[in-house]
């Protein structure tokens, strides 16, 4: 009972609401599912990148390596028939191990040198694979068994209902424990609105699920079943993976390892004098970063079932980096939000390209690159706009924003 | 081809390549020496130079004119980059790293966008550009010797400029200590701009010169980026002479591997970099 | 104040370095055609004051006026071109350049006068002439200091600022050097501002002295008054002048 109580904490309310909203999204607009699912992958990648850059203070431009390795390994294992839920952690561990090996020189080789080295490693890997293979390397998985199962739908609905219940309970607790009358009223209103929206979405969810299930037992053609089910399951996987990564990394940040890493980042000499094994801690950071990056890479295959050598491309590192930068290094929510923003932006820009095609004389292949280009410009603008440097501004702004929000919702003085 | 002929061909290739690597990397060393900025987009400048050169050549069919135009564009791009992108993040190493990486990715994307299939440099009537010469029964392209001459001339010019001109003295002074150079009355801001412009011009020019030999391929910008990055690491981040000898070393290693085990090229290049980083981190000629 | 015209005036300078509050309101004036000294213990902010004047550090508050022109926080090379020559205490010459190159770089006057100026400098520092094509980094510490002062003189200036000129030089040599600098300033009408810890040596040549402690100038008086200010000097500097 105590453990259950622990779940229903006032400050968790917002988190539950957000997670429920994430789950509700595809039911409101089905077309969002595919794009958002991929964005969550980038968000997870950005979070994993943040472990290295934000916490350990190591700039690595080879983040595509654990990601790509995990993606290829996942595709390979899935084709061999290994259950997906087994593959994901395995891919994560392998990716973590590989990143740890890549992290070995980081102790000796500092800053810019290490960044160049990792860039070279990622590119060398990609080009060696490409030139060794006779043809374009592409591993196609086809339809993934787990994503076809009906069980996924049940899990989805159950999870949603659970989250809404938790959100309701936590929100109630939160409102109850707020002392100031005006804040209490404001909170109650906001929560009510949120919950009402979720309820509406939930109703829609249950209704169309019921419709769907009725159709299935009446003998719906398999194609239609898959069209309904598959993207939902893929979306669920991405979202759950992101949530799991977020929670795990948050625990990590608050753990002894996390705080030690920050101390090392701030002042490595002092940390080693105090007896901390800087090298070991750094390697641990590499492993963690690679592990979560590997999870992202493994989940990536669900959205993009054909894995090619472009997973080692520097644009993957770049996307993770952009997400982390836009969102803010060193905070946790930042990279997650940033990763989603980067992914969504890229998708939005991609969706504009058919219009661009008709206006200019570009081939589809060329038009595909325009989103990356625009994203690159935005990235540069964001980096340049940091008055206190990339670090300082987000460390400042991240906290200021949080405090503003807290004050607004009356969390502050209670 | 019997071994001796193969060897001869490889040596000529390596020397020509080394010259171009030197052109690509010299700007990097100048910029880093002066400003402590590692311009990750430098390789992209090289690639852009190749593409712009071939494009202009298509339009004008004039080798020298195309070279000139590319060089001018290179200087302009350098000036714009230094003013708009580098200067705002001066003194913030992390931001510099991130922004130059962003520019690099941006330029790579731009190249893929505008020229998705690469550009083929056509045969010309010029003997120097497209002609062949027979040396010990090996057919060698004359252009490779031209590139060698360019590379060595550049090295000579650089050495003379550094040691005999006031600009060279300022460059060396600014590389040693920016603050003291200011105290000696050197306008460091202007020196930065000039240095960056010179570096950028050299990169664009290098790309332009290598295009007739390798064509402006899709791989060219990335390949030369990594080769260029290896030079400051191997030769010493701020060493002008080190850059020359490192270019020779890397050029030879790269081309010889490319001749005998082409799929290992990147891997071996990387290996050399790692070896130097671990054994002598300040570079073979670094202080 | 028996200063005559004022060539450099510093008013209420406050400077922070890496979050530390170093200059907490520094004010003083240096008179034309005279030798002014700022004396103080280690760490009171003497070098920071000079570097703030030269535009190397930017003050958060206060003003620096040279020849009655506001030069606060201008780029260093602009200030130098206005006629201020600075000889830093530590990194003061380019080790990778030759002695001659250092002197050439320092010189910023008309090309045809270079040879004359060089001769003047060589006559003051004959050892430098001997090593003129050696890299400055190969010289001994004392010779490097000489080169630094030589560079200061090579530069066109009306105000020569020296940060701890005696450090690293033998006391006898310093006495000679200071006397020569004084002679130079008198014959060419230049002004000198120097910062020192070695009070005994400075005492011989200065016209006006300021005492600095904990980031502020605590006193300023002409050289004649040194004997009567004995106690103050002892308190601020910890030593008798």
Q: How far is A64 from chain B (nearest CA, A)?
A: 14
Cα Rg of chain B (Å, integer)? 19
Q: Which of C238, C175, C240 is nearest to C42 (CA)?
A: C238
Tell me if B123 is assigned to some domain.
yes
Q: Give SS3 for C220.
A: strand
Of A124-138, B43-57, B259-273, the least confident: A124-138
Q: Alpha-carbon distance A378 to A338, whole Å?
A: 12
| pLDDT for the residue numbered A396 | 57
Least confident stretch, A8-17, A69-78, B240-249: A8-17
C89 or A412: which carries more pLDDT confidence? C89
Average pLDDT of A352-371?
A: 69
Task: Say if strands C35-40 and C208-213 run parallel, antiparallel, or are unpaired.
Answer: parallel
Burial of A36 from C-beta contacts in 10 A (0-12 / 13-18 / 19+): buried
> Could you tell me which chain C residue has the CA closest to the CA of B182?
C77
SS3 call for A266 = helix
Q: Is the pLDDT of residue A67 over 70?
A: yes
Q: How far apart are the first and last CA of chain A?
A: 26
pLDDT at A385: 78
Query: Percentage of chain A with pLDDT > 90?
Result: 8
Residue A287 has pLDDT above 90, yes or no: yes
pLDDT digits (tens, 9 = 90+) for B63-80: 899 999 999 999 999 999
Q: What is the 3-state secondary structure (H, E, C) of A356-370?
A: HHHHCCCCHHHHCCH
Inter-chain CB proximity B102 and A315 less than 8 Å? no
Look at B274 and A105 and tell me if their CB atoms are within 8 Å: yes
Q: Is residue B196 part of a domain?
A: yes
Q: Subunits with at least 3 CB pairs below 8 A relative to chain A?
A: B
Question: What local confidence, expressed as pLDDT, does residue A356 receive?
Answer: 65
Lowest mean pLDDT of C121-135, C189-203, C207-221, name the range: C189-203
Residue B57 has pLDDT above 50, yes or no: yes
Computed over every residue of chain A, the mean pLDDT equals 79
CB atoms A105 and B277 under 8 Å = yes
Contact across the interface for A120 and B226, Cβ inside 8 Å: yes
Residue A410 has pLDDT above 60, yes or no: no
- Identify which of B98, B110, B116 has the shortest CB distance to residue A390: B98
> For the residues C206-213, what does the mean pLDDT come to?
89
Nearest CA in chain B to C101: B169
* pLDDT (average), residues B165-174: 92
Query: Chain B: residue nearest C89 by CA?
Result: B180
Say whether B284 sits in a helix, a strand or coil. coil
Do residues C193 and C159 make contact, with C-beta atoms less than 8 angstroms apart? yes
A414 in Cβ contact with A179 (< 8 Å): yes
pLDDT over 90 (residue C98): yes
**What pLDDT shows up at residue C104?**
93
| pLDDT category of residue B18 using cuts at 50, 70 and 90 | very high
How many structural domains comprise chain B? 1
Statement: residue C44 has pLDDT above 50: yes
pLDDT tens-digit map of A222-245: 787 778 888 888 888 888 899 899
Beta-bridge partner residues of C221: C209
ipTM for the predicted complex: 0.89
Q: Are strands C20-31 and C6-17 parallel, antiparallel or unpaired?
A: antiparallel
Q: What is the pLDDT of residues A6-61, one digit of tens each?
A: 666 767 777 788 888 888 888 877 777 887 888 888 889 988 988 888 777 788 88
- Work out the average pLDDT over B185-196: 92
Domain that holds residue B182: 20-218
Cβ-based contacts of C161 with chain B (< 8 Å) = none
Ordered structural domains, chain C, with CATH: 6-83+157-237 (3.40.50.300), 93-155 (no CATH)
When mean pLDDT is compared across A80-84, A130-134, A381-385, B238-242, the lowest value belongs to A130-134
Asked whether residue B252 is assigned to any structural domain, the reply reads: no
- What pLDDT score was predicted for residue A411? 43
Band (C57; pLDDT cuts 50, 70, 90): very high
Of B186, B34, B171, B192, the C-alpha closest to C76 is: B186
Residue A18 pLDDT? 83
Q: Which residues pair with C192 in a beta bridge?
A: C35, C160
- Asked if the structure places residue B43 within a domain, the reply is yes
Specify if B262 maps to a domain: no
Q: Which of A300-309, A338-347, B167-176, C197-206 has the highest mean pLDDT?
A: B167-176
Task: Tell whether the model's pLDDT for residue C1 goes beyond 60.
Answer: no
Asked if C101's CB is within 8 angstroms of B176's CB, the reply is: no
* pTM of the predicted structure, to 2 decimals: 0.82
Q: In sequence order, what are the residues at sequence separation of 6 or more whose Cβ sits closer than 8 angstroms to the Cβ of residue C195?
A: C37, C38, C39, C40, C46, C47, C49, C50, C89, C161, C162, C163, C164
Region label for C170, one of left (φ > 0), alpha (ψ between -120 and 50) or beta (otherwise): beta
Question: Given this model, what pLDDT does residue A216 score?
Answer: 80
Highest mean pLDDT among A16-20, C183-187, C210-214: C210-214
């Amino acid at each position: 009972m105590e453990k259950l109580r622990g779940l229903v904490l006032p400050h968790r309310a917002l988190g539950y609401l957000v997670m429920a909203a994430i789950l509700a999204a595809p039911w409101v607009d089905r077309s969002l599912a595919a794009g958002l699912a991929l964005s969550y992958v980038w968000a997870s990648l950005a979070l994993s990148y943040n472990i290295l850059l934000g916490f350990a203070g190591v700039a690595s431009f080879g983040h595509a390596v654990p990601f790509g390795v995990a993606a290829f390994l996942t595709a390979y294992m899935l084709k061999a028939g290994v259950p997906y839920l087994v593959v994901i952690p395995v891919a994560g561990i392998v990716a973590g191990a590989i990143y740890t090996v890549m992290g070995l020189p980081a102790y000796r080789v500092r800053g810019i040198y290490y960044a160049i080295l990792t860039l070279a490693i990622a590119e060398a890997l990609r080009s060696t694979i490409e030139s060794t293979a006779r043809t374009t390397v592409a591993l196609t998985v086809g339809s993934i068994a787990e994503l076809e199962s009906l069980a996924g739908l049940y899990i989805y609905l159950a999870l949603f209902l659970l989250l809404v219940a938790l959100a309701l309970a936590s929100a109630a607790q939160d409102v109850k424990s707020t002392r100031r009358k005006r804040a209490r009223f404001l909170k109650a209103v906001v929560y009510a609105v949120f919950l009402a929206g979720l309820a509406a979405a939930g109703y829609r969810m249950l209704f169309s699920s019921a419709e769907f299930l009725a159709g299935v037992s009446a003998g719906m053609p398999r194609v239609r079943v898959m069209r309904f089910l598959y993207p939902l399951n893929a979306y669920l996987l991405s979202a759950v993976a992101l949530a799991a990564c977020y929670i795990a990394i948050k625990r990590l940040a608050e753990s002894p390892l996390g705080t030690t890493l920050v101390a090392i980042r701030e002042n490595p000499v002092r940390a080693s004098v105090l007896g901390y094994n800087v090298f070991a801690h750094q390697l641990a950071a590499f492993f963690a970063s690679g592990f979560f990056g590997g999870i992202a890479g493994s989940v990536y295959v669900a959205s993009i079932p054909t894995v090619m050598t472009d997973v080692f491309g520097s644009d993957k590192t770049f996307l993770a980096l952009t997400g982390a930068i836009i969102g803010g290094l060193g905070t946790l929510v930042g990279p997650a939000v940033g990763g989603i923003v980067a992914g969504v932006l890229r998708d939005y820009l991609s969706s504009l390209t058919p219009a661009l095609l008709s206006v200019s004389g570009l081939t589809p292949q060329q038009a595909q690159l325009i989103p990356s280009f625009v994203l690159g410009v935005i990235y540069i603008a964001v980096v340049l706009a940091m008055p206190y440097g990339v670090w300082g501004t987000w460390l400042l702004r991240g906290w200021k924003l949080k405090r503003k929000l807290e004050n607004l919702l009356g969390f502050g003085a209670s | 081809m019997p071994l001796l002929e193969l060897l001869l061909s490889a040596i000529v290739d390596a020397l020509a390549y080394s010259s171009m690597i030197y052109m690509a990397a010299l700007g990097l060393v100048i910029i880093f020496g002066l400003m402590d900025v590692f311009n990750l987009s430098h390789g992209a400048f090289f690639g852009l130079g190749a593409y712009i050169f071939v494009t202009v050549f298509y339009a004008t069919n004039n080798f020298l004119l195309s070279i000139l135009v590319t060089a001018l564009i290179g200087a302009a791009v350098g000036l714009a980059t230094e003013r708009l992108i580098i200067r705002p993040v001066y003194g913030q190493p992390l931001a510099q790293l991130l922004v130059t990486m962003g520019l690099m990715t941006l330029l790579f994307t731009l190249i893929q966008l505008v020229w998705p299939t690469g550009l083929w440099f056509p045969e010309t009537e010029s003997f120097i550009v497209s002609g062949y010469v027979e040396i010990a029964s090996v057919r060698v392209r004359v252009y490779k010797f031209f590139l060698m001459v360019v590379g060595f001339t550049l090295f000579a010019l650089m050495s003379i400029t550094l040691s005999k001109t006031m600009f060279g003295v300022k460059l060396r002074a600014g590389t040693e200590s920016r603050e003291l150079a200011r105290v000696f009355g050197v306008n460091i801001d202007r020196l930065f701009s000039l240095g960056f412009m010179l570096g950028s011009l050299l990169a664009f020019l290098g790309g332009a010169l290598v295009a007739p030999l390798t064509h402006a391929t899709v791989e060219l910008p990335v390949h030369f980026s990594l080769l260029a990055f290896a030079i400051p690491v191997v030769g010493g981040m701020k060493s002008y002479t080190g850059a020359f000898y490192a270019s020779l070393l890397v050029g030879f290693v790269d081309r010889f591997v490319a001749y005998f085990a082409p799929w290992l090229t990147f891997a071996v290049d990387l290996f050399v970099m790692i070896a130097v980083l671990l054994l002598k981190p300040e570079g073979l000629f670094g202080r | 104040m028996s200063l005559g015209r004022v060539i450099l005036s510093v008013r209420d300078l406050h400077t922070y370095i890496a979050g530390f509050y170093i200059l907490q309101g520094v004010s003083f004036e240096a008179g034309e055609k005279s030798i002014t000294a700022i004396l103080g213990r280690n760490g009171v902010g003497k070098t920071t004051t000079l570097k703030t004047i030269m535009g190397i550090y930017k003050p958060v508050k206060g003003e620096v006026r040279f020849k009655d022109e506001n030069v606060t926080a201008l780029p260093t090379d602009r200030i130098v071109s206005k006629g201020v020559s600075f000889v830093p205490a530590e990194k003061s010459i380019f080790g990778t350049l030759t002695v001659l190159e250092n002197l050439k770089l320092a010189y910023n006057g008309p090309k045809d006068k270079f040879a004359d100026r060089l001769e003047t400098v060589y006559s003051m520092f004959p050892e430098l002439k001997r090593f003129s094509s050696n890299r400055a980094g190969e010289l001994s510490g004392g010779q490097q200091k000489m080169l630094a002062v030589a560079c200061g003189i090579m530069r066109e200036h009306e105000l020569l600022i020296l940060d701890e000129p005696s450090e690293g030089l033998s006391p006898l040599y310093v006495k000679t050097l200071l006397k020569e600098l004084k002679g130079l300033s008198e014959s060419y009408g230049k002004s000198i501002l120097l910062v020192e810890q070695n009070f005994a040596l400075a005492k011989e040549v200065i016209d006006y002295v300021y005492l600095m402690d904990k980031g502020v100038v605590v006193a300023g008086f002409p050289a004649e008054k040194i004997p009567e200010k004995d106690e103050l000097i002892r308190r601020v500097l910890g030593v008798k002048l």
